[in-house]
Chain A
Amino acid sequence: MFAGLTDRSWLWLAAECYFVGLLLGTWSLTRRNRQSGVALNTIIAVGYLFQLTGLWLRGRAVGGCPLGNTFEIFQFTAWSAITLYLIVGVTFRLSLLGYFTSCLAAAVTIVSLAIPAWDATRREHIFGGNPWIELHAAIALFSYGVFALLALTSFMFLLRNFSLKHKMPGGGFTFLPSIMDLDSMSVRLLVIGVTLLSISLAVGAVYWLRDLQSVNLTKLLLTVTIWLAYAVALGLRLKGKLLAQRFAWAGVILFGLALLSLWPVDASRHARPAPARVSR
């Protein structure tokens, strides 16, 4: 039944699964029912497998990690967030995190699929045949997935904090996790994200130091800025200077900036070599 499907078809199927998760979660919330964790997690897991298949096919076609254009970067980021959700979210059983994750994944994957220009061209051999650079890029993008999940737990914290401060604990707010659970999960995610991005930069730095000419300055500056911003946020949180809703706002805003930084990073990479068509 699925034989012969293209990578984009698999990715569309995945996006549809995440969208169904979004609808199921919204339906449960409007009915004021507790989220059906098993149903939602199953839908997300099926979507995840479809997305994994799509990315694997794309990776096989391009002969490496599929991070050659904006479409692939968005798909990989969403996939990373889902991977982490399936490991961390399911383990810690934070209610509504699955719902918010499927909302984010649906939005990111559908938008990336709906804009054909993002996938019209891709750079080939972007890693110069160097597996370390491929690893650097993959870990960096995976850390963005972690930060995506951090943005979600931060957003949930802001909702919960708003509901408690404004004396409105009922309605849809009932199903949100507690302030302490969300804060503790956000700190863990920030530690994981900063660690991964640090590893990624360390791996990349070895390569840059060997071949300074090949370094794209825009990309380097933006990536280091994002890393620094998250590292500073982590330092301030651990020192007790950035707390509660300010910490949560930082989680949301920094992810927004991280996403925005992907465009100039990608554009600066496209500026150098001649684009190649994606083989599908």
Chain B
Amino acid sequence: MSADHFFVLGATHHTAPIEVRERLSVDAGAAEALRGELSSIPGLREFTLVNTCNRVEFYGVATSPSAAVEVQSRFCARQRFTAAEFEKFRMSLSGFDAVRHLLEVTAGLDSQMLGETEILGQVKEAYGAAQARGQTGPVLNRVFQKAFQAAKHVRTDTAISSGQVSVANVAVDLALNIFGSLAKTRILLLGAGDIGEKTAKAFQSRGAGSLSVASRRLESAMELADSLGAFALPFWLMPVKLAEFDIVVCATAAPDTVVSHAAAQTAMKQRPARPLFFIDLALPRDVDAAAAKLQNVFLYNLDDLAKIADENRAAREAEVGKCRALINTRADALWKHIEPRLQASLNGNSPLPEQGRPA
């Protein structure tokens, strides 16, 4: 039965809570050693290890079901899990289901953040690593290539990846809607807390040009500015310097308004033609809501951003059925194509390429 010879084995965020995933996670050095170990398993013809923060999965082609059992036992031994404990969190699929699973993973349908695109790069990287070590063959090569094509197809033909679903990324998208590009924008982060830092990092990852940090405690501002490669600004200078910034991320713990309507108005008088975008992530809010009425001023608070993120998430979820239908069709065609070849290849008993085996 060729279906059992193509398998996926592992644990994902669907099957294992974060504290278990932490224990299952394989770092780069351990992954290298594990790959070496797995390539010596008799009957394991091809394999790839996909290892991200939300999943550790082994895709394999084996001549007998015992090879999959051996993969599991070697992995458990390395991660100090008993087989019984691992089986509580294990995800194990074979044949068509395994093919479909890979296609769904690659398209972001199985991700914790539905439709996210980072997973495609991670799967490509995992496949590239296995291919470079000669651990893939005709079956995995075809399945992975088709999975990449299917992911592209799903993202192009559906809205599964449209709109951002995290507050920080929604804020960045809004800034792009206002400024077009972030390269020439100047960003001010008010407050040195986690949420502000996360948002600042999201801006930097999308090409933000200049970032300054202001906090009531200058040392905190300097510390965060240091870690972000930004400038630190004394908090008391903020009202004077406000006009110099295009985007102001407000995330202080101040009990009262930090940016008043008058302060925003004064800033806009100095830069009337250039928009000013306030992202107010603070509770209580840092920016006077009346500032939103000013021409060329855009103000979004935490609720506004969360609402957009929720709407985007709902829009993505509404696309899941369409995506699954596309994936099913492709997985079905792919399985029909590889099943007879898998059988023929297994009968041929060709070994893993030599470079995949330990010296």
The chain A residues found within 8 Å of chain B, CB to CB, are: 32, 160, 163-165, 167, 169-170, 174, 176-181, 183, 240, 243-246
Q: Pick from B162, B179, B272: contact of A243, CB below 8 A.
A: B272
B273 at interface by CB-CB < 8 Å: yes
**Are B308 and A169 touching (Cβ within 8 A)?**
yes
B180 at interface by CB-CB < 8 Å: yes
**Are B179 and A178 touching (Cβ within 8 A)?**
yes
Q: Which of B20-28, B84-92, B170-178 contacts A (4 or more CB under 8 A)?
A: B170-178
Report the Cα distance A174→B177, complex, angstroms. Answer: 8
Report the Cα distance A167→B177, complex, angstroms. Answer: 12
The smallest beta-carbon distance between A187 and chain B, in angstroms, is 9
The smallest beta-carbon distance between A249 and chain B, in angstroms, is 12
The smallest beta-carbon distance between A153 and chain B, in angstroms, is 13
Interface hub of A163, A176, A180 (most chain B Cβ within 10 A): A180
B275 at interface by CB-CB < 8 Å: yes
- With A170-B312, A243-B272 known as contacts, the answer to whether A181 contacts B296 (CB < 8 A) is no
The smallest beta-carbon distance between A167 and chain B, in angstroms, is 5
**Are A32 and B162 touching (Cβ within 8 A)?**
yes
**Are B315 and A165 touching (Cβ within 8 A)?**
no
**Are B178 and A179 touching (Cβ within 8 A)?**
yes
| Binary interface encoding of chain B residues 300-341 relative to chain A, with 1 for a CB under 8 A from any of its CBs, else 0 | 100010011001100100000000000000000000000000
**Are B308 and A167 touching (Cβ within 8 A)?**
yes
The chain B residues found within 8 Å of chain A, CB to CB, are: 159, 162-163, 173-174, 176-180, 272-275, 292, 295-296, 298, 300, 304, 307-308, 311-312, 315
Top 5 nearest A-B pairs (CB, nearest first) are: A178-B180, A181-B180, A244-B296, A240-B272, A179-B178
Return 13 A-B CB contacts under 8 Å, by A number.
Answer: A160-B177, A164-B177, A167-B308, A169-B173, A170-B312, A174-B163, A176-B177, A178-B179, A179-B180, A179-B275, A180-B275, A243-B295, A243-B296
The smallest beta-carbon distance between A238 and chain B, in angstroms, is 10
- With A169-B308, A243-B272 known as contacts, the answer to whether A164 contacts B178 (CB < 8 A) is yes
**Are A246 and B295 touching (Cβ within 8 A)?**
yes
Report the Cα distance A193→B312, complex, angstroms. Answer: 40
The smallest beta-carbon distance between B279 and chain A, in angstroms, is 13
Report the Cα distance A184→B159, complex, angstroms. Answer: 30
**Are A179 and B159 touching (Cβ within 8 A)?**
no
The smallest beta-carbon distance between B154 and chain A, in angstroms, is 13
Report the Cα distance A174→B311, complex, angstroms. Answer: 13
**Are A32 and B159 touching (Cβ within 8 A)?**
yes
The chain B residue sitting closest to A247, CB to CB, is: B273
Report the Cα distance A164→B178, complex, angstroms. Answer: 8
**Are A177 and B180 touching (Cβ within 8 A)?**
yes
**Are A245 and B295 touching (Cβ within 8 A)?**
yes
Report the Cα distance A240→B274, complex, angstroms. Answer: 10
Report the Cα distance A73→B163, complex, angstroms. Answer: 43
Report the Cα distance A165→B291, complex, angstroms. Answer: 11
**Are B307 and A167 touching (Cβ within 8 A)?**
yes
Q: Pick from A170, A176, A245: contact of B315, CB below 8 A.
A: A170
The smallest beta-carbon distance between B222 and chain A, in angstroms, is 31
Report the Cα distance A179→B163, complex, angstroms. Answer: 18
**Are A164 and B162 touching (Cβ within 8 A)?**
no
The chain A residue sitting closest to B173, CB to CB, is: A169
In the complex, chain A residues whose CB is within 8 Å of the CB of B163? 170, 174
Report the Cα distance A135→B105, complex, angstroms. Answer: 64
**Are A174 and B295 touching (Cβ within 8 A)?**
no
In the complex, chain A residues whose CB is within 8 Å of the CB of B312? 170
In the complex, chain B residues whose CB is within 8 Å of the CB of A174? 162-163
Report the Cα distance A98→B213, complex, angstroms. Answer: 41
In the complex, chain A residues whose CB is within 8 Å of the CB of B180? 177-181
**Are B177 and A179 touching (Cβ within 8 A)?**
yes
Q: Pick from B174, B178, B308: contact of A180, CB below 8 A.
A: B178
Report the Cα distance A170→B177, complex, angstroms. Answer: 11
Report the Cα distance A166→B8, complex, angstroms. Answer: 47
**Are B300 and A167 touching (Cβ within 8 A)?**
yes
A-B contact sample (7 more), CB < 8 A, given A179-B178, A243-B296, A245-B295: A163-B177, A170-B311, A178-B180, A179-B275, A180-B274, A181-B180, A244-B295
Report the Cα distance A176→B177, complex, angstroms. Answer: 8
